[in-house]
Amino acid sequence: MTTDEPAIDVRGLRKTYGPHEAVRGIDFSVAVGEVFGLLGPNGAGKTTTVEILEGYRDRTAGTVSVLGEDPQLRSTALRQRVGIVLQSCGMYRHITVREALTHWSRFYPHPRDVDEVIAVAGLTQKQDERTRKLSGGQLRRLDFALALVGDPELIFLDEPTTGFDPAARRAAWETIRSLKELGKTVLLTTHYLDEAQELADRVAIIKDGGILAIGSPAELGVQGISRYQVTYVDAAGTAVAEETDDPTHLLHRLTAAAIDRGETLNELSVTRPSLEDVYLELTADV
């Protein structure tokens, strides 16, 4: 595989369950070494899409290539190069963290060192604990560790930090960033906008089985889908918010008028639309 070839390439992907069309013809590709986010509300088709890429589901139509292979064929070679963190996934209840990782590492031709993976996942203190004694967050870290132990080139993370407390989320983000530094490709689904904004090189916003927008978080914000917001408190103490596509001129007009009146605009701020604003605007029910 050359590095020009994308890690994931999806063209015209459709998936129907009886009369229900879960995915309605989507296209995107993910470059090698890229962190790509699929963002959307529940039921948007994120998990269906990811599970088709992971080889769990057969597609109804379209072409899909993952590391140059069709995931539907479920080749062993492909599964050796991919790590999967499913949205919710159980484990043997009586296995210890270390036993699980040692066992899983034997599925792969070139596994990472088990001790190192335990450390990366922050499970050193819990390595000899049975999984049924672990907290939800610790189990999620074990999911992470099990997906990383085979040293995959491509990692699927389906809502990896759901249910984490803020500190655990930051720690998980650090782990995901470290994967990027190692040159791994990551496909991330999330409904946390800050997570996508923080981690993803590019994001696809998906709703009702279709992609609404695709681009880097910054691009999605700037490309006029959403507008800049200028807020201030006027001399009478009233909070004012104005939206504009052209903040330069608006600011000039506002500040010039204020100076002419001999007033100041208190708490003046210009906010670039966040991914959240774009997301809410795009996914709002009309």
Partner 1 sequence: MSDQLSLLWRQYRLERRMFWRNPSAAFFNFLLPLLFLAVFGVIFANNHKDLEIVLPAVAAMSVMSTTFTALAMNITFLREQGVLKRMRGTPISTGTYLGGVGLNAVTNTAIQIVFVVLAGRLVFGIGWPPDPVQLILFTFAGVICLASLGVALSHVIPNFDSAPAIVNAVFLPVVFVSGVSLDTKHSPAFAKDLAQVLPVGHVVTGLKGGMVAHSGGLGDHLSALAVIAAWTVLGIFFAVRGFSWESARS
Name the residues that contact partner 1, by CB under 8 A: 54-56, 76, 79-80, 82, 84, 86, 88-95, 99, 103-104, 106-108, 130, 146, 150
Cβ-based nearer residue to partner 1, 103 or 177: 103
Cβ-based nearer residue to partner 1, 48 or 161: 48
Cβ-based nearer residue to partner 1, 78 or 265: 78
Cβ-based nearer residue to partner 1, 186 or 193: 186
Evaluate whether 275 touches 196 at the Cβ level (below 8 Å). yes
Contacts of the segment 73-80: beta carbons below 8 A, 24+ positions apart: 79/55, 80/107, 80/108, 80/109, 80/150
Q: For residue 113, what are its two tokens?
A: 């060192």
Q: How far is the CB of 90 from partner 1 (least distance, A)?
A: 3
Question: What region, left, alpha or beta, does residue 18 occupy, with left being phi > 0 and alpha being psi -120 to 50 degrees?
Answer: left
Cβ-based nearer residue to partner 1, 40 or 111: 111
Q: How far is the CB of 86 from partner 1 (least distance, A)?
A: 6
> Which amino acid type is present at position 233?
V
List, in sequence order, every residue forming a beta bridge with 207; answer none if it has no partner.
Answer: 210
Cβ-based nearer residue to partner 1, 54 or 198: 54
Distance CA 175, CA 187 (A): 14
Q: How far is the CB of 96 from partner 1 (least distance, A)?
A: 10
Question: What region, left, alpha or beta, does residue 183 occupy, with left being phi > 0 and alpha being psi -120 to 50 degrees?
Answer: left
Distance CA 140, CA 162 (A): 9
Evaluate whether 95 touches 130 at the Cβ level (below 8 Å). yes
> Which amino acid type is present at position 112?
R
Q: How far is the CB of 282 from partner 1 (least distance, A)?
A: 27
Q: How far is the CB of 199 from partner 1 (least distance, A)?
A: 22
Cβ-based nearer residue to partner 1, 74 or 252: 74
Distance CA 184, CA 156 (A): 11
Q: How far is the CB of 280 from partner 1 (least distance, A)?
A: 28
The strand pair at 61-66 and 8-17 is best described as antiparallel
What are the residues whose beta carbons fall under 8 Å from the beta carbon of 248, sequence distance 6 or more?
none
Q: How far is the CB of 79 from partner 1 (least distance, A)?
A: 4
**Three-state secondary structure call for residue 122:** coil
